[in-house]
Amino acid sequence: MINIKIELYGRLIGLFGQDHIFWQTQANSTMKALYQSLCQTHQVDDSIKGIKPVINDTFVDWNNEFQSGDVLGFLPPASGG
């Protein structure tokens, strides 16, 4: 098992009720598997439509894996301007 920090932004803060979560998960998980597991635990919609995954402040693909100590982020569609 590895420890990671997950940062949430925009409407995801409202959805999960917090702006960050410390999470323990299995090694070699993908961002998509992690997000779906997170949604399942918090009983929220697990659709990834419009959401961009981030590892250590860099945009990544949903199939990317992460390492222990990484800071992960999920960014919903932007609404600036």
Partner 1 sequence: MFTLSEKAIDAAALKSQTHDPQSGGFVCFEGWVRNHNNGKIVTALHYSAHEKLALQVGQDIIEQAQSRFDINQAVCCHRLGELLIGDMAIWVGVSANHRRAAFEACEFILETVKKEVPIWKNEHYQDGETGWVENDQ
Point out which residues bind partner 1 (CB under 8 A). 7, 9-11, 14, 50, 52, 54, 57, 59, 73, 75-81
Distance CA 65, CA 55 (A): 9
Please, what is the Cα angle at 79 between 4 and 74, to 5 degrees? 15
> By C-beta, is 1 or 49 nearer to partner 1?
49
Closest among 4, 7, 2 to 51, alpha carbons compared: 7
> By C-beta, is 10 or 25 nearer to partner 1?
10
State in angstroms the smallest separation of the CB of 10 from partner 1.
Answer: 3
> By C-beta, is 32 or 52 nearer to partner 1?
52
